[in-house]
Amino acid sequence: MKIRFLFLLLLCLVGSRVIAQPVKEMVQVMVTPDRSDWTYQKGDRPEFTVRVLKNNVSLDGVTVNYEYGPELMKAEKSGSESLKKGALEIKTGTMKDPGFLRLTAWVEVDGKRYSSYATAGFSPEKIEPTTTLPADFSEFWENAKNELKKVPVKPVLTLLPERCTETVDVYHVQLDNISGKIYGILCKPKKAGTYPALLQVPGAGVRPYSGDLDNASRGVITFQIGIHGIPVNLPQVVYDDLRAAALQSYWTIGLDDRDNYYYKRVYLGCVRAIDFIAGLDYFDGQNLAVTGGSQGGALSIITAALDSRVKYLAAFYPALSDLPGYLSGRAGGWPHLFKNGYTNKPEKVAVSKYYDVVNFARFVGVPGWYSWGYNDNVCPPTSMYAAYNVIKAPKELHVFQETQHWTFPEQRTLSQQWLLEKLLQ
């Protein structure tokens, strides 16, 4: 049980972001582009170098298999060659449009396969979205928020004594949402006074939450929410069962009906969380930020666009961005709704436009801090740039090219410093 708990803790939250760090293996396949920033212009032909290390020593004579093409799409070319003098250089084709080209290499050593990849960006700042903005997008969401206003917040706070510290009180919180409830963990400084606040929105999945005591101990109210309308302090088995049954592929539920799509209640639930924070008598009434990664990165952008009470946002690798990309021959954002014919229906595509991060990004009006990697294989960078490039508000992007769907500690430190500087100024 202890081992299981530690594993789940590793995969769960650091400041509401899912962190699943890679495991280092004895044999490492190293794929390196010939530019330090991994970034090229349209028409350039990158050259990748492949090395294979065992016990940190270069191997020779090993057969390297490789393929390359646009990220998450069918490979354009493949081949195999032997390592000579510890390295193999592969010159790829180019891209005629802005986007990302990924080279994957793999070897077999002692009967086991090892692989890695690297991704070259081509004029990513020029990537344009494939989704379009519905004419009544703003009206749809204004009407939805007006309906939410008719529902009293009705907060129910339950103190969690076992989680409290000398300086921080911790509560399990229940709120009334547009339908059902929304739950979360509130951490507040014990010392009397008013404080800034940080809403932490979750990555995809079904899991419990424990709250952010670290930032609360620094003088920030933190509210970490779940999105599924179930308490966030239940035994793990409850979430496992829901994830395997009722909430399996929840992101597809109601996708053919814009008024009943699963994420409508989720997006409004984030606004409801802001309602709750704004009503706290120990909130300073002004300094409020939202942050998260993946699905939480998406919800950070969406919440900032929907609610002017949010003053800052920090988003890691935002999901739900440029969803119909696959219909235009390039990678679309997680959850890859339109990658196959099962969901590629006109009515579903039409509904997705009301929930696509790109269309919310157009309305973001507050400073934002953003970070992701070129190697992300869950939220492809093409989709994330499609959203980032339409943001007109002050923004800063921190690219850590090597990262896949995880973050380096340095990324998390930068985000933390930026948020605290804004909130505690």
Q: Which residues are catalytic?
A: 294, 376, 405
Q: Which two tokens stand for residue 88?
A: 């193999």
The DSSP secondary structure of 276-332, one letter per residue, reads HHHT-TTEEEEEEEEEEETHHHHHHHHHHHH-TT--EEEEES-SS-SGGGGGGTS--
Residue pair 98/123 in contact by the 8 Å Cβ criterion: yes
Q: What's the CA gap between 335 and 356, in Å, rounded?
A: 11
Q: Which two tokens stand for residue 314?
A: 């920090």
Helical pair 262-278 and 137-149, crossing angle rounded to 10 deg: 60
Residue pair 170/395 in contact by the 8 Å Cβ criterion: no
**3 state SS of 31:** strand
Q: What's the CA gap between 376 and 285, in Å, rounded?
A: 37
Q: How many residues does the chain have?
A: 425
Contacts of 413 (CB under 8 A, 6+ apart): none
User: What sign does the CA torsion over 79, 83, 85, 88 have?
Assistant: positive
Q: What's the CA gap between 238 and 307, in Å, rounded?
A: 32
Contacts of 184 (CB under 8 A, 6+ apart): 172, 173, 175, 209, 223, 224, 225, 226, 232, 273
**3 state SS of 385:** helix
Counts for the chain of helices (H) and strands (E), in that order: 10, 20
